Structures are given as structure tokens and as C-alpha cells.
């Protein structure tokens, strides 16, 4: 009997905690491109106070570390943030290899530092994986046009044929920000 009470309490706690993590994730993805250094610092302070982060919070934390590196001018610290963040995201993806959301966050983050060879490889692996495996639910919830556009940009010089194919496929996603960015301007 006592065991059942503990299980029920844990279930109730996980149900109450999960929506908070989803809210954190949604807020993070919505504002992904607009965080300032100060905002990232404040978010990291809150993460440092958190204990026992689940994979969702770990992937966001790793992504924030990498994004913070963009604002860092002191190279040892810059590389520390990149290394720590990418390592944390790698561990999360490794623990749940088929999770498209984790790959989306890691790939989106790697695209931010695409000038590093390792990040380009990670970005391509993650976004190609999503491109192949994304179902309709994923495509509705996240901007699949972003996957197509960013892959197209990467392939523009090395594989122009594939780049053009991806841009043609982007035309099917008229609700996408990236569709409007390219085709509404013409």
C-alpha cells in the first residue's frame, strides 16, 4: 500500500513539473534568436539553482551555454561554453537517439556557430535526420520550413542540386516564416 502511495505522489509531481518544462521549452524556442547576453546570464543563474534536470531541461541548458559563447570575447571561456553546451546536448541525444525535438534544438544551436567544422557536421546530421523522419505532428508543431531552408543554405555551395530541391520543397510550407522570407519577397 505504501509503495502505491509513493508512486501516485511521484506521478502527480511529474504531471505538475512537466508542463513547466514544456513552457520553458516553448518560451525558449519562441525567443531563440532574440536573447541578449544579460537574458542568457539570468536564465543560466536559474538553471544553476535547479537540481536533477531532466533531458528536456538539459538540452535547453546546453543550448543556452552555446548561445552564451557567441557573446564571449575571451577565447578560453568562449570555448568552454561551446564545449560544455555541445557535450551536454550530445549526452541528451545519445540517451534518446530518436527524439526529434532534442535533435532539433541541438541542430538549431549548432547552426548558430556553423563556422566551426564540428558544428556544421552536427547540424547536418541532426537536420537530415529530422528531414527524413519528421512526421506530420512534428511538422505542424515546429517550422519544418526552417529545416528545409537551413539545409538548403548549407548545401548551396557543395551540392547546389540538393539545395534547389530543398527550396522547391519549401514551397509546400507556405505558413513557414522561411517560405515568406524567400518567396514573398520576390
Q: What is the pLDDT of residues 80-108, one digit of tens each?
A: 999 999 999 999 999 999 999 999 999 99
pLDDT of residue 9: 37
Q: What integer is the mean pLDDT of 111-137? A: 95
**Hey, what's the cell of 4?**
502505491
DSSP three-state, residue 92 = helix
The torsion angles phi and psi of 45, rounded to 5 degrees, stand at -60, -40
Q: What integer is the mean pLDDT of 147-159? A: 94
Q: What integer is the mean pLDDT of 116-120? A: 92
DSSP string, 106-173: HHHHHHHTTTSHHHHHHHHHHHHHHHHH--HHHHHHTTHHHHHHHHHHHHTTT-HHHHHHHHHHHTT-
Q: What integer is the mean pLDDT of 46-53? A: 69
pLDDT of residue 50: 59
pLDDT of residue 12: 39
User: In angstroms, rounded to a whole number, what is the distance separating the alpha carbons of residues 121 and 124?
Assistant: 5
Q: What integer is the mean pLDDT of 5-13? A: 37
pLDDT at 133 over 60: yes
- 151 and 128 Cβ atoms separated by less than 8 Å: yes
Q: pTM for this one?
A: 0.84
Q: Which residues contact 69 (CB under 8 A, 6 or more apart)?
A: 78, 79, 81, 82, 85, 113
Q: What integer is the mean pLDDT of 23-34? A: 80
pLDDT at 131 over 60: yes
Q: Which residues contact 137 (CB under 8 A, 6 or more apart)?
A: none
pLDDT at 150 over 90: yes
Q: What integer is the mean pLDDT of 118-147? A: 95
How many residues comprise the chain? 186
12 to 16, 26, 58: CA distances (angstroms): 6, 22, 22
- 129 and 109 Cβ atoms separated by less than 8 Å: no
pLDDT of residue 143: 93
Average pLDDT score over the chain:
85
- 72 and 92 Cβ atoms separated by less than 8 Å: no
User: Picking from 25-29, 65-69, 70-74, which range would have the lowest pLDDT averaged per residue?
Assistant: 25-29
At residue 114 the predicted structure's pLDDT band, cuts being 50, 70 and 90, is very high
Which residue would you say has higher pLDDT here, 160 or 34? 160
Amino acid at each position: 500500500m505504501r509503495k502505491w502511495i509513493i508512486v501516485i505522489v511521484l506521478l502527480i509531481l511529474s504531471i505538475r513539473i512537466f508542463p513547466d518544462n514544456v513552457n520553458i521549452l516553448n518560451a525558449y524556442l519562441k525567443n531563440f534568436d532574440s536573447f541578449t547576453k544579460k537574458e542568457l546570464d539570468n536564465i543560466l543563474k536559474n538553471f544553476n539553482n535547479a537540481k536533477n534536470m531532466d533531458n528536456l531541461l538539459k538540452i535547453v541548458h546546453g543550448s543556452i551555454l552555446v548561445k552564451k559563447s557567441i557573446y564571449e570575447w575571451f577565447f578560453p571561456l568562449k570555448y568552454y561554453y561551446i564545449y560544455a553546451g555541445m557535450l551536454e546536448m550530445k549526452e541528451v541525444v545519445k540517451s534518446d537517439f530518436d527524439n526529434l525535438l532534442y535533435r532539433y534544438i541541438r541542430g538549431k544551436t549548432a547552426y548558430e556557430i556553423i563556422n566551426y567544422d564540428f558544428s556544421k557536421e552536427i547540424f547536418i546530421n541532426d537536420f537530415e535526420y529530422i528531414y527524413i523522419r519528421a512526421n506530420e505532428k512534428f511538422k505542424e508543431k515546429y517550422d519544418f520550413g526552417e529545416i528545409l531552408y537551413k539545409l538548403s543554405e548549407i548545401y548551396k555551395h557543395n551540392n547546389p542540386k540538393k539545395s534547389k530541391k530543398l527550396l522547391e520543397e519549401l514551397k509546400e510550407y507556405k505558413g513557414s516564416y522561411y517560405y515568406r522570407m524567400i518567396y514573398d519577397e520576390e
